[in-house]
Amino acid sequence: MRTAEIKRRFLSHFEANGHAVVPSAPLPAIDDPNLLFINAGMVQFVPYFLGQRTPPWKRATSVQKCIRTPDIDEVGKTSRHGTFFQMNGNFSFGDYFKEGAITLAWDLITKSVEEGGFGLDPERIWATVYLDDDEAFDIWHSKIGLPEERIVRRGKADNYWSMGIPGPCGPCSEIYLDRGPEYGREGGPEVDEDRYMEFWNLVFMQNERGPGADKENYPILGELPAKNIDTGMGLERMASILQGVDNIYEIDEIRPILDKAVQMTGREYGTRSGHVASESHPDDVRLRVIADHVRTSLMLIADGVTPSNEGRGYVLRRIMRRAIRAIRLLGWQGPALPELLPVARDCMAPSYPEVASDFERIASYAYAEEEAFLSTLRAGTTILDTAMAETKLAGGTRLTGEQAFQLHDTYGFPIDLTLEIAAEQGLAVDEEGFRRLMSEQRRRAKADAQARKTGHVDLSAYRQVLEAGGPVEFTGYEETARESR
């Protein structure tokens, strides 16, 4: 089943059950100073959950474009994390609650394909509930008929959902599919989250969270005015299930980009790996990263983000650079985006016509960014070559932290690339020294930013003295007095 068809079926299931179909909000989260990008379907509905605004409907459904940069290091190494993905959702604003949400979800996933559902085998479905949520446990067990062995109670990190920042939150129930022994170890979601793949999360949105970065330890401020439902089904994950492929990078909306990279680099894909994503050949991981990041770049620029050195623009820049670097490491030398981006456009245009109609603008930003990065790489490579030759001449085996830092700082030359190229020449790099210099620089930048924000002068130099030598006493009068004696 094609991704566009899964999306259509999802929306029509909920529309038939009284939900208003609401379009996706754009990716940049412009209304929330704490959030760079929309990371879930519920974000555009936050004021309704908090009771700040009255929703025009009791029930809504949407397919929301999402960005999750915290997942960037997982891309390609798990079967299920993209930096961009689409979240199918249904929402109840003080209308149905746990039983309604679980029943509506179960009906859609187990209804046969002929009847308009997704036709999943009930025997392979698992559910999780929050530790003490007996109500949800009972609905799964008594009403739906899921055996107790396939209902798992999990703690706050997995089964108590929030956006990661202050706002609505609540216990949740996640739905998993056991993809079978070839995908990993037996024992349920707590043992192997790639074999048992989470594809849908039902959140019982009833409380408000306060600030705090710790996933398991943030204050709950109190109850929301109503009991709500917020669900999110990963469209790409469902597509990977229904298309019978190993991971989300192999679905119809992404695979052609991956295939293009295969064709460009002459590398093989998938022949050296089994079904377990975490054991993939490094080339396979890189090819997936390229496919994911090129698609994300397309969608971000389409929504008005442009590469820059801060905020949203910097996220985009980092994602583009990772894609460009990855394809160079697979042996492709010239500009890659003019080859890859049109393929991504053709994948996404059926669902998002604006990526085709606005392609000229999108491409001009993307190609200019790649040109600039390639010249950075060229400049840095010359410096790196010289540094490596000097090191070897002096009988050394390792580049210094300062050299790596200078490449990074002056030429924007990423450390991974320094490591990779040095390794090809049989040289190591003092990574620890590099990281020390990086964190010193970060500390300076933070102090500067703080000074700009508060209008205070830069005290970081004093702070360093303090940290190095303990508290400093003011002895000026005495000393001056002594000197003048």
Which parts of this chain interact with ligand ATP (CB under 6 A)?
A: 68, 71, 80-82, 85, 87, 198-201, 232-234, 236-237
73 vs 385 by CB, closer to ligand ATP: 73
Residue 201 binds Mg ion (CB under 5 A)? yes
Report 159-178 residues binding Mg ion (CB under 5 A): 174
Stretch that binds Mg ion, among 57-65, 193-201, 404-412, 446-454 (CB under 5 A): 193-201
Q: What are phi and psi of 97, to 5 degrees?
A: -125, -135
Report the alpha-carbon distance of residue 293 to residue 296 in Å, rounded. 5
Residue 201 or 231: the one with the smaller Cβ distance to Mg ion is 201
Minimum distance from CB of 97 to ligand ATP (Å)?
A: 18
Total of residues contacting Mg ion (CB under 5 A)? 3
Q: Which residue is nearest to Mg ion (CB)?
A: 201
User: Which residues lie closer than 8 Å to 94 by C-beta, 6 or more apart?
Assistant: 58, 225, 226, 227, 228
Whichever of 284 and 369 has its CB closer to ligand ATP, that residue is 284
Q: Residue 89's binding partner, choosing from ligand ATP, Mg ion, none, with beta-carbon cut-off 5 to 8 A by kind?
A: none
**Is 88 one of the binding residues for Mg ion (CB under 5 A)?**
no
From ligand ATP, Mg ion, none, interface partner of 200 (C-beta below 5 to 8 A by class) = ligand ATP
Q: Which of 41/380 has CB closer to ligand ATP?
A: 41
41 binds, among Mg ion, ligand ATP, none (CB under 5 to 8 A by kind): none
The residue number whose beta carbon is nearest to ligand ATP equals 234
Count CB-CB contacts under 10 A for residue 331: 11
| Residue whose CB is less far from ligand ATP, 158 or 370 | 158
Nearer to ligand ATP (CB atom), residue 157 or residue 481: 157
Residue number, 84 or 411, with CB nearest to ligand ATP: 84
Which amino acid, 55?
P
**Based on C-alpha coordinates, what's the Rg of the chain?**
26
DSSP class of 36? S
Minimum distance between the CB of residue 441 and ligand ATP, rounded to whole angstroms?
30
Q: Tokens for 311?
A: 């905020």
Contacts of 175 (CB under 8 A, 6+ apart): 105, 109, 125, 126, 127, 198, 199, 200, 201, 202
Beta strands at 428-429 and 398-399: parallel, antiparallel or unpaired: parallel
Please spell the DSSP secondary structure of 113-169, one letter per residue. TTTTS----GGGEEEEEETT-HHHHHIIIIII---GGGEEEE-HHHHEEE-SSSEEE
- CA–CA gap between residue 388 and residue 15 (Å, rounded): 63
Which residues are at the interface with Mg ion (CB under 5 A)? 174, 198, 201
